[in-house]
A = this chain, B = another copy of it.
Amino acid sequence: MNKHAVIVHDPTLRDGQHAVRHQLDRDQIRAYAAAVDAAGVPVVEVGHGNGLGASSHQVGHAKLSDDEMLATAREAMPHSRMGTFILPGWGSSTDLRSAVLHGVDVVRVGAHCTEANVTERHLGVIRELGVEAQGVLLMTHMASAQELAEQCALMAGYGAQAVCLFDSAGHFLPRDVAARVAAITAAVDVPVAFHGHNNLGMAVANSVAAVEAGALMIDACARGFGAGAGNTQLEVLVAVLERLGHPTGIDVRLLADAADLAEQTLMPAPPTIDSASLASGLAGVFSGFKKPVLAAARQEGVHPWDVFVELGRRRVTAGQEDMIPDAARALAVQSERR
């Protein structure tokens, strides 16, 4: 039996930025983009970690402007399509127009897993600009398969040409992913994508489960480059998909060379699963909260593991970073009372 092809979407130059405070420079972007273009990676996502228009004091100023990053990567990639990311509230229609002028082919619009409605306007603008529009749901372990299917149907109705499930906390196990992807592929007519994080060591296995449940597109980063425990490891994923008979169109040996370049030039060290990342994934807390949790735990003299558990209990979403000191304080007060 022929197995379906998988479109591999590489956000190394966008999601990886979280691991280096958005400081990738022109030489780094150019060399990596050229290397994955040569390996045949179909889509390469580029930008500030938080997307278009996000460079700021609050989440970090990028070294380069959005336009500079996009123009640099575009010039280095004769074949690969270029993607970028936008979160409504950070990026505007003006940012979208400029990104398209700088050669973007695919734009993804992100929202919390139960708030697909905030993607409507941007998805419409992207379609009008004539490039591919994709809808992204974040922190998808916080919604059921049925809820996610409904939210994806909304995004498809707004014009999304693909819908993407992000396991932003790295909380899923393979059966969780399979159930959700199956429900969504049954509910929408557009391709389904999966974007994993490795907090529980399951990023590659989860991605395979997504493909076997019908996902047509998988996100993965060279060496897993990303915040905390990192993303699905690109070169490993492609090798495993090809071995399982799912064609990707990518030359694995050249891709491994690109990953070597990424390790040498983009990152201080490849991501590993430390105890904070493990606790975060187990508790279902946004991967990006590791540093503020460690700081708050130190401040209050409590164990970081317990702060993650408490944040998971409170069902804190990405963006609710202000709840971290409060959770740590509450644990300190509890332990004083004992």
Q: Which residues of A contact B (CB under 8 A)?
A: 173-174, 198, 200-205, 208, 223, 233, 235-237, 239-240, 243-244, 252-253, 256-257, 259-260, 263, 269-275, 278-279, 282, 303, 305-306
Contacts of A240 in B (CB 8 A): 173, 200-202
Docked complex Cα distance between A279 and B269 (Å): 20
Cross-chain pairs A/B with CB under 8 angstroms, 20 sampled: A173-B244, A198-B201, A200-B204, A200-B236, A200-B239, A200-B240, A201-B201, A202-B205, A205-B205, A223-B273, A233-B273, A235-B278, A236-B273, A239-B278, A256-B275, A257-B275, A263-B274, A269-B269, A269-B272, A270-B272
Q: Please report the C-alpha to C-alpha distance between residue A205 and residue B240 in the assembled complex, in whole angstroms.
A: 13
Whole-angstrom CA separation of A306 from B257 in the bound complex: 13
Closest 9 CB pairs of A and B: A205-B205, A201-B204, A256-B275, A270-B272, A201-B236, A253-B305, A260-B275, A239-B282, A200-B240
CA distance A239 to B270 in the complex (A): 22
> In the complex, how many angstroms separate the beta carbon of A231 from the nearest chain B beta carbon?
11
Q: Which residues of B contact A303 (CB under 8 A)?
A: 253
Which of chain B's residues have a CB closer than 8 A to the CB of A270? 272-274
Choose one: B233, B244, B305; the contact of A256 (CB below 8 Å): B305
The residue of chain B having its C-beta at the shortest distance from the C-beta of A198 within the complex is: B201
CB nearest neighbor in B for A255: B275
Besides A202-B240, A235-B275, A270-B272, 15 more A-B contacts (Cβ < 8 Å) are A198-B201, A200-B240, A201-B201, A201-B203, A223-B273, A235-B278, A239-B278, A239-B282, A253-B306, A259-B275, A260-B274, A263-B274, A269-B269, A270-B273, A272-B272
Q: CA separation between A306 and B303, bound complex, in Å?
A: 47
Compute how far the CA of A31 lies from the CA of B173 in the bound complex, rounded to whole angstroms.
33
Let me know if B278 and A223 touch, CB within 8 A.
no
Chain B residues with Cβ below 8 Å from A223 are 272-273
Instruction: Kindly provide the distance from the CB of A237 to the nearest chain B CB, expressed in whole angstroms.
Output: 8
> Within the assembled complex, what's the spacing in Å between the Cα atoms of A256 and B283?
14
Q: How far is the CB of A183 from chain B (nearest CB, A)?
A: 21
Check A174 against B205 for contact (C-beta < 8 Å): yes
Q: How far apart are the CA atoms of A256 and B273 in the complex, in Å?
A: 11
Known: A202-B240, A239-B200. A279 touches B256 (CB 8 A): yes
Distance from A263 Cβ to chain B, minimum over Cβ atoms (Å): 7
Instruction: Say how far A147's CB is from chain B's closest CB, in angstroms.
Output: 21
State how many angstroms separate the Cβ of A110 from the closest Cβ of chain B. 25
Nearest B residue to A236 by beta-carbon distance?
Answer: B201
**Distance in Å: Cβ of A294 to nearest Cβ of chain B:** 12
Which residues of chain B are within 8 angstroms of A278 by Cβ–Cβ distance?
235-236, 239, 256
Contacts of A253 in B (CB 8 A): 303, 305-306
In whole angstroms, what is the CA distance A202 to B237 when docked? 10
* Interchain nearest-CB distance for A245 vs B (Å): 12
Question: With the chains together, A235 CA to B199 CA distance in Å?
Answer: 11
In the bound complex, CA of A305 to CA of B200 (Å): 28
Chain B residues contacting A260 (CB-CB under 8 Å) are 274-275
A278 to B273, CA, bound (A): 18
Closest to A201 in B: B204
Give the shortest distance, in Å, between A264 (CB) and chain B (any CB): 11
